Chain A
């Protein structure tokens, strides 16, 4: 069964085409003010990558903070259900998914069947989110994509004590001004993000088996520190972790 999932996130929009539980093609663009226009283009290019005509689609679902703006979907589902479905379905072993999006951190608890039992979300504050990471890496003068590469050379990561993005940015700037090595500063901010995310995840108690999803999970330096702090077993998400919610939407479209 061929289905489509569309996730309009706060920073990025994603489209996936699935055949049953396998991912055929996907695309990611920046979320702008013109969601309807940009999604039409993205859907067309993802369908053409998959070599599938729009008429062959047997289901489509939308999710994310901008989902209500979507037309041409059969239904909309919240991100927690979508991420939980993707994680639980593709990684049946796990009991928790921690999603770190552009403007939120969500810890999702799953039962043995992969159903969402409970979740806890911080979307009130930028602390530890993708936006936080953008601001911090910007203060060092690198892009988010260069974080792993930059942090690799760290010898002595700096300590960033503030949780607040505004205060942490000042700390990062003073480290830059003090002439600290960019590698040590970036490694320090990865450590800071990991601490914030792990604290959120730990509110559910220790979960033995978990995965990380969302854009921040793509940064290995951060994933590694988070898994070190949480203990247990970390199951890497089998696809680009930014796609988790869109994949969940496509899977749900197939179950309807």
Chain B
């Protein structure tokens, strides 16, 4: 079996591959450090399926602490998230040329060619705007769950306009709107739209080539997805996999390649 481990800022993912298909996967909330997260997520996945670490032929680690995870012997190799997301996306949908990966604490736009080679990429990990953290901060302010923010804005008749890019200033703006009694749907719509604006600014720096696949936790927000599609004028492809697992899947595909298997 070939394995991939991807440690994000909020969640950790493990994927096991057999015959090139994702056979098993697991996602958990992160532990205090990446090594513990890796041990827990892969350990649980193996245990739930009556497997053991010995059943893994080759494992690739990616994300936070990927070197340490390899150092502890849980992986034979470590590869950057950018390469793993690129390869993961391409392996899911061979026509993919642009990957928009929005994680809990960073945002990346990756351009790949048909062979899965990296053409260009941009990343923001300096500023919370345009990352999952922005949505988290906003949800905390609104008092709603992260997974509800997308559906909430679906029925909105209007949307608030957030003039601040900065998450801290935007939080103050949202509070003012809340105090004025603006309905939650319009607030959610404005927040999702603002999020999409930040992402599209990053996307424009490397350009869009079809097909486009979105990975990472924010890809599950239907409203942000829809706004982005409108702004790019491109319909994004939908992978047959939870978008949060794309990095770990890419790592597992990498493991299969590295081990020399066909």
Contacts and interface: CB of A to CB of B under 8 A. Distances in A.
The answer to whether A and B interact is yes
Interface of A: 103, 124-126, 131-132, 135, 162-167
10 nearest A-B residue pairs (beta carbon):
A166-B128, A126-B168, A165-B168, A125-B166, A164-B127, A166-B167, A126-B166, A164-B128, A166-B133, A167-B128
B52 to A, nearest CB: 33
B169 A103 contact: yes
A124 B105 contact: no
A163 B168 CA distance: 12
A165 B167 contact: yes
Nearest to A166: B128
Nearest to A169: B168
Contacts of A135: 168
- Among B133, B166, B167: residue with most chain A CB under 10 A: B166
Interface of B: 105, 126-128, 133-134, 137, 164-169
Contacts of B127: 125, 163-164, 167
A125 B126 contact: no
Nearest to B127: A164
A28 B167 CA distance: 27
A214 to B, nearest CB: 17
A162 B127 CA distance: 8
Contacts of A124: 164-166
Contacts of B167: 164-166
A124 B198 CA distance: 13
A131 B168 contact: yes
A162 B128 CA distance: 10
Nearest to B105: A167
Contacts of B128: 164-167
A126 B137 CA distance: 14
A163 B125 CA distance: 10
B188 to A, nearest CB: 19
A168 to B, nearest CB: 10
Contacts of B133: 166-167
5 contacts: A124-B164, A125-B165, A131-B169, A132-B168, A165-B166
Nearest to B137: A166
- Among B134, B164, B169: residue with most chain A CB under 10 A: B169
B163 to A, nearest CB: 10
B169 A164 contact: no
A49 B153 CA distance: 53
Nearest to A177: B32
A165 B127 CA distance: 8
Nearest to B125: A167
A103 B133 CA distance: 21
Contacts of A132: 168
Nearest to B172: A131
A124 B129 CA distance: 11
Contacts of A162: 126
A243 B134 CA distance: 34
Nearest to A174: B32
A167 B105 CA distance: 8
A129 to B, nearest CB: 9
B116 to A, nearest CB: 31
Nearest to B124: A164
B165 A164 contact: no
Contacts of A166: 128, 133-134, 137, 167-168
A124 B133 CA distance: 18
A136 B127 CA distance: 16
Contacts of A165: 128, 166-168
Given A103-B169, A124-B166, A166-B167, 5 more contacts: A125-B127, A126-B168, A132-B168, A163-B126, A166-B128
A188 to B, nearest CB: 19
Contacts of B169: 103, 125-126, 131
Contacts of A126: 166, 168-169
A124 B169 CA distance: 8
B137 A164 contact: no
A167 B164 CA distance: 17
B262 to A, nearest CB: 43
Nearest to A165: B168
A245 B139 CA distance: 36
A135 B140 CA distance: 15
A206 to B, nearest CB: 25
A138 to B, nearest CB: 12
A103 B165 CA distance: 13
A126 B165 CA distance: 10
A103 B173 CA distance: 13
A110 B105 CA distance: 40
A111 to B, nearest CB: 32
A16 to B, nearest CB: 27
